[in-house]
Amino acid sequence: MILNNSFRSREVPRKYPVVCNWVRNHNFDLLWFKICVLLYIYEKFNLNLKYNIVHSSLNFSLVTIMITKPQVFEFLKQYDLKNITIATVCSHSSLQIFDGARKEGFRTLGICIGKPPKFYEAFPKAKPDEYIIVDSYEDIMNKAEELRKKNTIIIPHGSFVAYLGTKNFADLKVPTFGNRVVLEWESDRDKEREWLLGAGIHMPEKIEDPRVINGPVMVKYHGAKGGKGFFVAKTYKEFNELVDRTQKFTIQEFITGTRYYLHYFYSPIRSEGYTLSKGVLELLSMDRRVESNADEIFRLGSPRELIEADIRPTYVVTGNVPLVARESLLPLIFSLGERVVEESLDLFGGMIGAFCLETVFTDSLEIKVFEISARIVAGTNLYISGSPYADLMQENLSTGRRIAQEIKIAVQTNQLDKIIS
Ligand SMILES: Nc1ncnc2c1ncn2[C@@H]1O[C@H](COP(=O)(O)OP(=O)(O)O)[C@@H](O)[C@H]1O
Ligand SMILES: [Mg+2]
């Protein structure tokens, strides 16, 4: 059960939520038992499986410590649903989230470290109504009760989850927009791959053995933030020169083409639009990330000249530029989003709200997906007053506003349980 291999079969993920619910509903502390078993195995075999065992155990633990839906609904029973506060950490896409929440009539609350960021003063329309100051991201865990007293619904974004840590985020005792179980599938590149391939999505090929590298590959470190440390290699020799073997890495075929980051929204409670087996799928916008130094490095010289000078591209996100896709690609773009959502409904009860597929469009007009983000992404910050796609649904519709709208509709129709975890 604990080893990665058993998770890989198609059967196990489908039974996984059932098993985890069973664990949660029992009073004994299986977590400690697991830790003891792991220590025993590690002691006894002291083997290469070390990483896999520990890693899988962490993942499994994530579910066992995750706050349950019934617990969240108990909190919601105490809420004054006419006075909901929308809260997030002041970073990433928070300006847009506060602006959108205010446009939908919600009170807003910014969580910040140390003191409120001064730049919020420069943007009065996006400045939250109030702040909660914490000493560190971990300190947010101690503010759960205070947040609940203010009828708070948390809107998670990439920085929120990254800085708080997936485990803390999973256990945060405040009602949160979206399905937190998605973390299980998203925070591990192997499980993410299983999900996307299961949905019939084309992904870059995974190279298991670096000795077979015979063309450009992208080497990615697990848990690396914003592409940090990633590198491209074309041969095994080059890979060996550049790799840091102390970190867990994945090797992927490097896809040549143009990158598109597709911003979708899945609503399980709407019924009109691009319908799925349950709910509707929306396409709100798209962007391309600007990455330093990869995007401008070639101003210095040709790839060969750069390698000779030992200057290599890096992939650290610094911002975003707007994009639209050719209209003939829209059916494929919708079908990708559709398949990912349908698979998520089967695997873990669905990925709710905003999500992004990070893709490369090739010159044969194929779309390869190299990553998924299961919440609002910073590329949507471009579209605070709408986008060429969102405008066709409603004027001034940002992703932040769409999230607030979903909460508003859910409250009005008594369906909060379908979009909160
Ligand atoms: N298979 C690939 N082919 C080409 N470029 C890639 C590929 N995978 C990632 N990249 C580039 O590396 C960047 C970071 O990769 P990603 O998998 O999104 O990592 P992160 O977890 O840091 O977001 C991407 O935005 C893209 O520019
Ligand atoms: Mg990415």
- Please provide residue 201's backbone torsions phi and psi, each rounded to the nearest 5 degrees: -85, 140
Q: What is the pLDDT of residue 54?
A: 41
If you measure from the C-alpha of residue 315 to the centroid of ligand 1, how many angstroms do you get, rounded to a whole number?
7
pLDDT digits (tens, 9 = 90+) for 256-313: 999 999 999 999 999 999 999 999 999 999 999 999 999 999 899 988 898 888 888 8
For ligand 2, a single-atom ion, which residues have Cβ within 5 Å? Answer: 358, 371
Using most ligand atoms within 8 A of CB, pick from 202, 251, 371 the residue to mutate for ligand 1.
Answer: 371
Task: Report d(CA 29, CA 33) in Å as an integer.
Answer: 7
Q: How far apart are CA 13 and CA 185, in angstroms?
A: 10
> Using one digit for the tens of pLDDT, what is the confidence trace for 218-257?
999 887 676 778 999 999 999 999 999 999 899 999 999 9
Q: For 363-385, write each residue's pLDDT tens digit.
A: 999 999 999 999 999 999 999 99
* C-alpha 82, offset from chain centre: 29
What ligand 1 atom has the least distance to the C-alpha of 261? 25
Structure tokens at 145: 């009760």
- Asked if residue 188 has its Cβ within 6 Å of ligand 1, the reply is no
DSSP letter, residue 391: G
For the chain, state the CA radius of gyration: 22
Q: Cα(first)–Cα(last) distance of the chain, in Å?
A: 26
pLDDT at 184 over 50: yes
pLDDT value at residue 188: 85
Q: Let me know: does 226 contact 92? Beta carbons within 8 Å.
A: no
Ligand lying closest to the C-alpha of residue 189? 1
Band of residue 32 on the pLDDT scale cut at 50, 70, 90: low
Residue 344: partners with Cβ closer than 8 Å, 6 or more residues away: 182, 185, 195, 350, 351
Model pLDDT, residue 49: 38
Contact 184, 348 (CB under 8 A): yes
Domains and CATH numbers, the chain: 2-63 (no CATH), 69-176 (3.40.50.20), 195-202+256-418 (3.30.470.20), 210-253 (no CATH)
pLDDT recorded at residue 322: 98
Burial of 11 (0-12, 13-18, 19+ CB in 10 A): exposed
Supply the mean pLDDT for the chain. Answer: 88
Residues 6+ apart with CB under 8 A from 236: 210, 211, 212, 213
Q: pLDDT of 401-420, one tens digit each?
A: 999 999 999 999 999 999 99
Q: How confident is the model at residue 34 (pLDDT cuts 50, 70, 90)?
A: low
The CA 195 to ligand 2 mean position distance, Å, reads 16
What ranges in 106-235 are assigned the alpha helix state H? Answer: 144-149, 158-164, 166-171, 182-186, 189-198
The pLDDT score that the predictor gives to residue 55 is 43
Residue type, 389: Y
Q: Ligand 1: distance of its center to the CA of 30 in Å?
A: 37
Q: Strands (DSSP E) along 3-126, which ranges?
A: 85-89, 107-113
